[in-house]
Chain A
Amino acid sequence: MNNLLKQKPQVINIGIKNFYSDLKNNQARALHVDWRPPLVNDPSLYQKILFNMDKISKANTEVITKILAARPVLVGMDLAINVIPQMEKNLILHAGPPITWERMCGPMKGAVLGALIYEQMAKNIEEAENLILAGKIKFAPCHGYHSVGPMAGIISPSMPVFIIENLEHKNKAFTTMNEGLGKVLRYGAYDSSVIERLNWMKDVLYPVLKDAIQISGGIDLKNIIAQALHMGDEVHNRNRAGTSLFYRQITPHIVKTSKSNQNAIDVLNFINGNDHFFLNLSMAQAKASLDAGRDIRYSSLLTVMARNGTDFGIQLSGTNDKWFVGKALVPDALYFPGFTKADANPDIGDSAITETAGLGGFAMASSPAIVQFVGGKSEDATNFTLKMYEITERENNIYQIPYLNFRGTPTGIDVLKVIEKNILPVINTGVAHKNPGIGQVGAGVLSAPIEPFIKAYKEFIETI
């Protein structure tokens, strides 16, 4: 027998909020759900998911277990051509999903041209452009090469890259060194100052760091991030703590191994002067962890979110290397003085890999210093993180948020939950000027676009 009449009603209200207020006014126990219509409302698809829930859950458990068990460690450095499998001399890797030269946005085109000059394949812009138009240059996403890069994300063959090894599963990930702010290649700048800096990074920064890392025996990135989250970073838009912790760890090794005092000073000053130095490492550790969860049949968890300034793409573990792509959005950001949304390029960079791994926007609650990006109040930041628990598989076992009583960060985005709850992943991001070479014009938070998720959802259901 139903015992409804024997108890006081305790109500969960979904829909008209006034009904909830009236319940509260009548001293009833009630909760209100901030419900949104699902992004795809097709009961037959939903039925199919329900019917296959067991095997999907099992696959997702397997994937999240691998991702959480990953032990990403910075183990060394080398030139891209030497160390990235299948890297070629005329191949340029870029951020986001695949894209042709014609469809690339301004900053990415600028970065590609700059990289060709850096590679000494062209003396100037015209030559570089001609090479491309003659079909001499191949383009591919970093993600297809176990790599990630912020903003334009360009990796050319003779750029030095960090090698991050996931000691648990033995897979590797690669990323470039962060150039700092201002006129930099990743924002599409290519003038002589940019090329000179890249050369210095290859000739001075790279050898010094390479030796230091080698003698350090490896730097545990998971450990640094766990601490950085307790120190106010979310390791995407804020990397001040992460950079400081890295600096502390690497300094003695640099001092020990550097053959020139001046070089050691220059290298240490360079790292110290760039609050985002740690960003690339944060991204690559996310990549190394997520790659461990790839290619598990029936898993609806995301292994990639990435943007190329034109398109936004995602990949699911259960659908392997397949990209699901939609138009990249222009962020509603806080703009630096003198710039507006009209100057902004659509969202760009592989850095959304941090959100894919449960950091960045997902860990917003750990980063009160940057809440002005999300409305200015610490509750806003907390609510961002709380919302992300709704679309993720698990709470992280290592990465914790002090403000939420050390709850683990929301990790493992599930496309099924995204669609059902109509909650899109939030991404913390820097904003590039739409013209090459001007650089960063703002920073803020945006939601991923709907389209790639709808495509992925439909295709995923086809595979089950």
Chain B
Amino acid sequence: MAHVIKSLIKSGEYFDSITLMVATKKIKELKRVIDAAIVMGTLENRKILKASGLYVEDFSKALDNDLLISIKGENQKISEEAILKLDEILIDLKKRKNTGNEQIFFSMGQAKSEMKDANVALISIAGKYATTESMKALNSGMNVMLFSDNVSIEDELMLKKYADSKNLLVMGPDCGTSIIGGVPLAFSNKVHSGDIGVVGASGTGTQEVTSLITNLGGGISHAIGTGGRDVGKEIGGITFLSALNLLIEDENTKVILLVSKPPHVDVLAKIGKLTLKTNKQVVAVFLGAKSSLVEKYNMIYAKTLEEGAMKALELSLNRVITLDKDQYDAELKNQVKKLNFKQKYLRGLFSGGTFAFETLLVMGQELIQDIHSNLKAETSKLLDDPSLSIKNTIIDLGADEFTQGRPHPMIDYTLRNERILKEAQDPEVACLYVDLVLGFGSNKNPGQEFLPTIKKAKDANKDLLIICTVTGTDGDPQNKKEIIKKLKEMDVIVPLSNAQGAYLCVRILKKLNRGENE
């Protein structure tokens, strides 16, 4: 198609990536605009522009603080008009940012002098700047929740040691979820208040267990995120141990639930020292760990996030809880029957990395063959090119290779929506397994931005099995009930938890292998 690219550099105009995402979306919606990119001029973003064919030579001189605009329209006039329109959009977004008579704060120091008893700095700026800002926060006596990723492990260690010396916590880097005293920070859900305290090295894992507990009638005292690397050898569990200690001392916490990949042995030993000493009951979901490893430290073993949530809940409520795990049987049988003989593979497309990992684990334990993934796991092969699926493929779309220069897939569905449609058109695919994570921080409008893609996928391939978990609570801003209702209307199976979804996938694949659909 004929097209004209118009480009522009706006020097020193800084916008955050979400604002730019909104602006880009609005420009792409303009008639006869083919493609558009509006990004800050960082090296990473310029690479992305090159890859997308929107790069122009002028951009080579751009600085991190320059706003790069590149618009591909059907002709010169369309592109030029789009650039003019963009000016309006950006001014509008800027204004919206500054509406009301709220004072604008330009630095942490200024904000801290206004709110002298601030005790948490929630930091979500680009990783290369995050260390300095975290340092400033710790220096002024605040705990840090560091949502940013791409912070070096050396910096992480330095920050955590410094925090420890001042009796402060650094939750993160790459910490998606914490709930302190009922206040959800970053990607968190509206949970009930209760007596289960969570320490989570995984954000999605924490969202899953806290939501499940809430949905089944329990409640959360606090959920403290640590960042995924905390329990590794280098960091030595500095935050994990402090958080566990805080929950042991916390009078509102009766049961403690730990959520993580298996900690390094030295870290596990230190955790064990604390759990042996306390008389609070501790449930541990260390995804992939053997039960003997945790039981020797007097912790209660749970294999999956769901099991961890259940066990903690039973201890909290002091009664046995049973879930109906067979409720999807009839539906499943019905749908599997419709598959044709070519359809044999599973494609799992996740916005929550822990869901991808847990699914890999379950499939591995159930001896499913030919699993490929962009995550490292013992039971799967690493994909050379994560953008191309092979046989059974499990993709974490929150992994670095997909998030460079763009918001997380729980906020921006674009990339995964494209992938869902691509997989739906693959005749070898029998089942799509996707997650939808609700709550604060996540995209507020999955009804408009996610469900239509599921509809399109079904339209493209009406016999395709689609399983979609919906993580969250009824108190979340997205209207969970309505979303589940709409999914079910499209014959999408909506399991209660990711673990159940993973087991459903296993059953489907096993049925297909036994040729039950022929």
| Chains A and B form a bound pair | yes
Smallest Cβ-Cβ distance to B14: which chain A residue: A36
| B125:A450 contact, CB within 8 angstroms | no
- Is B473 an interface residue, CB under 8 A from the partner? no
A26: which B residues are within 8 A, CB to CB?
182-184, 190, 440
| A421:B185 contact, CB within 8 angstroms | no
| B106:A37 contact, CB within 8 angstroms | no
A10: which B residues are within 8 A, CB to CB?
115, 117-120
Residues A14-52 near B (CB distance < 8 A): 14-19, 22-23, 25-26, 28-29, 31-39, 41, 43, 46
Q: How far is the CA of A31 from the CA of B113 in the complex (A)?
A: 11
Q: How far is the CA of A443 from the CA of B107 in the complex (A)?
A: 30
Q: How far is the CA of A38 from the CA of B124 in the complex (A)?
A: 15
- Is B279 an interface residue, CB under 8 A from the partner? no
| A12:B122 contact, CB within 8 angstroms | yes
| Most interface-central of A19, A46, A379, A424 (chain B CB within 10 A) | A19
Q: How far is the CA of A36 from the CA of B65 in the complex (A)?
A: 9
- Is A390 an interface residue, CB under 8 A from the partner? yes
Smallest Cβ-Cβ distance to A37: which chain B residue: B129
Q: How far is the CA of A102 from the CA of B63 in the complex (A)?
A: 29
- Is B265 an interface residue, CB under 8 A from the partner? no
Residues B82-135 near A (CB distance < 8 A): 97-98, 101, 103-108, 110-112, 114-115, 117-126, 128-129, 131-133
A269: which B residues are within 8 A, CB to CB?
none
User: Assuming the A-B contacts A16-B147, A37-B125, A43-B132, are A423 and B183 also in contact, with contact meaning beta carbons closer than 8 angstroms in the complex?
Assistant: no
User: B299 → chain A, closest Cβ, in Å?
Assistant: 21
- Is A386 an interface residue, CB under 8 A from the partner? yes
A386: which B residues are within 8 A, CB to CB?
103-104
| Most interface-central of A16, A17, A19, A46 (chain B CB within 10 A) | A16
Q: How far is the CA of A9 from the CA of B119 in the complex (A)?
A: 6
- Is A86 an interface residue, CB under 8 A from the partner? no
Q: How far is the CA of A6 from the CA of B12 in the complex (A)?
A: 42
- Is B212 an interface residue, CB under 8 A from the partner? no
Smallest Cβ-Cβ distance to A35: which chain B residue: B125
Q: How far is the CA of A386 from the CA of B118 in the complex (A)?
A: 21
A41: which B residues are within 8 A, CB to CB?
64, 128-129
| A14:B125 contact, CB within 8 angstroms | yes
- Is A342 an interface residue, CB under 8 A from the partner? no
Smallest Cβ-Cβ distance to B95: which chain A residue: A375
Smallest Cβ-Cβ distance to B98: which chain A residue: A383
- Is A2 an interface residue, CB under 8 A from the partner? yes
Q: How far is the CA of A420 from the CA of B122 in the complex (A)?
A: 19
- Is B246 an interface residue, CB under 8 A from the partner? yes
| B111:A33 contact, CB within 8 angstroms | yes
Residues A31-85 near B (CB distance < 8 A): 31-39, 41, 43, 46
| B122:A11 contact, CB within 8 angstroms | yes
| B125:A421 contact, CB within 8 angstroms | no
A8: which B residues are within 8 A, CB to CB?
180-181, 183
Q: How many A-B residue pairs have CB under 8 A?
A: 173
| A9:B181 contact, CB within 8 angstroms | yes
| A5:B181 contact, CB within 8 angstroms | yes
Q: How far is the CA of A9 from the CA of B65 in the complex (A)?
A: 32
User: A50 → chain B, closest Cβ, in Å?
Assistant: 9
Number of interface residues of B (CB under 8 A): 66
| A18:B115 contact, CB within 8 angstroms | no
Q: How far is the CA of A410 from the CA of B241 in the complex (A)?
A: 46
User: Assuming the A-B contacts A18-B441, A26-B183, A43-B132, are A34 and B122 also in contact, with contact meaning beta carbons closer than 8 angstroms in the complex?
Assistant: no
CB < 8 Å neighbour of A422 from B14, B183, B250: B14
- Is A463 an interface residue, CB under 8 A from the partner? no
User: B510 → chain A, closest Cβ, in Å?
Assistant: 41
Q: How far is the CA of A439 from the CA of B182 in the complex (A)?
A: 63
Q: How far is the CA of A268 from the CA of B221 in the complex (A)?
A: 77
CB < 8 Å neighbour of A2 from B101, B126, B128, B242: B242
A11: which B residues are within 8 A, CB to CB?
118, 120-122, 183, 185
User: Assuming the A-B contacts A2-B167, A11-B120, A33-B108, are A43 and B133 also in contact, with contact meaning beta carbons closer than 8 angstroms in the complex?
Assistant: no
| B122:A13 contact, CB within 8 angstroms | yes
- Is A7 an interface residue, CB under 8 A from the partner? yes
- Is A134 an interface residue, CB under 8 A from the partner? no
- Is A193 an interface residue, CB under 8 A from the partner? no
B131: which A residues are within 8 A, CB to CB?
43
User: A54 → chain B, closest Cβ, in Å?
Assistant: 15
| B108:A37 contact, CB within 8 angstroms | no
- Is B222 an interface residue, CB under 8 A from the partner? yes
B477: which A residues are within 8 A, CB to CB?
22, 25
| A35:B107 contact, CB within 8 angstroms | yes
A12: which B residues are within 8 A, CB to CB?
108, 111-112, 115, 118, 120-122, 137, 142
User: A2 → chain B, closest Cβ, in Å?
Assistant: 5
| A4:B180 contact, CB within 8 angstroms | yes
User: B112 → chain A, closest Cβ, in Å?
Assistant: 6
B183: which A residues are within 8 A, CB to CB?
8-9, 11, 23, 26, 28
- Is B216 an interface residue, CB under 8 A from the partner? no
| B129:A38 contact, CB within 8 angstroms | yes
A420: which B residues are within 8 A, CB to CB?
107
User: A53 → chain B, closest Cβ, in Å?
Assistant: 12
Q: How far is the CA of A31 from the CA of B133 in the complex (A)?
A: 15
- Is A447 an interface residue, CB under 8 A from the partner? yes
User: A394 → chain B, closest Cβ, in Å?
Assistant: 15
Smallest Cβ-Cβ distance to B109: which chain A residue: A390
- Is B206 an interface residue, CB under 8 A from the partner? no
Q: How far is the CA of A357 from the CA of B123 in the complex (A)?
A: 34
Contact mask B399-435 → A, CB, 8 Å, 1/0? 0000000000001000000000000000000000000
| B185:A23 contact, CB within 8 angstroms | yes
User: Assuming the A-B contacts A1-B249, A8-B181, are A14 and B108 also in contact, with contact meaning beta carbons closer than 8 angstroms in the complex?
Assistant: yes
| A2:B184 contact, CB within 8 angstroms | no
B190: which A residues are within 8 A, CB to CB?
26
B106: which A residues are within 8 A, CB to CB?
33-36, 387, 390, 421, 423
A424: which B residues are within 8 A, CB to CB?
12
| B180:A37 contact, CB within 8 angstroms | no
| A16:B124 contact, CB within 8 angstroms | yes
| A34:B11 contact, CB within 8 angstroms | no
Q: How far is the CA of A450 from the CA of B129 in the complex (A)?
A: 19
| B122:A4 contact, CB within 8 angstroms | no
Smallest Cβ-Cβ distance to B155: which chain A residue: A43
B202: which A residues are within 8 A, CB to CB?
none
A15: which B residues are within 8 A, CB to CB?
16, 122-125, 147-148
Q: How far is the CA of A38 from the CA of B12 in the complex (A)?
A: 11
A29: which B residues are within 8 A, CB to CB?
115
Residues B1-23 near A (CB distance < 8 A): 11-12, 14, 16, 18-19
- Is B271 an interface residue, CB under 8 A from the partner? no
A33: which B residues are within 8 A, CB to CB?
105-108, 110-111
Chain A to chain B contacts (Cβ below 8 Å), 24 pairs: A2-B143, A2-B168, A4-B246, A5-B246, A7-B181, A9-B119, A9-B183, A10-B117, A10-B120, A11-B120, A12-B111, A12-B112, A15-B16, A16-B16, A19-B147, A19-B186, A31-B105, A35-B133, A43-B132, A379-B101, A383-B98, A424-B12, A450-B63, A450-B65
Q: Across chains A and B, which 3 residue pairs bring their CB atoms closest together, nearest first?
A: A15-B124, A22-B440, A15-B125
Chain B interface residues toward A at CB < 8 A: 11-12, 14, 16, 18-19, 63-65, 97-98, 101, 103-108, 110-112, 114-115, 117-126, 128-129, 131-133, 137, 142-143, 147-148, 167-169, 180-186, 190, 221-222, 242, 246-247, 249-250, 252, 411, 440-441, 477
Chain A interface residues toward B at CB < 8 A: 1-2, 4-5, 7-19, 22-23, 25-26, 28-29, 31-39, 41, 43, 46, 379, 383, 386-387, 389-390, 420-424, 447, 450
Not counting A7-B117, A19-B122, A35-B133, a sample of 10 additional A-B residue pairs whose C-beta atoms are within 8 angstroms of each other reads: A2-B168, A5-B222, A5-B250, A9-B119, A14-B125, A22-B184, A36-B106, A383-B104, A386-B104, A422-B14
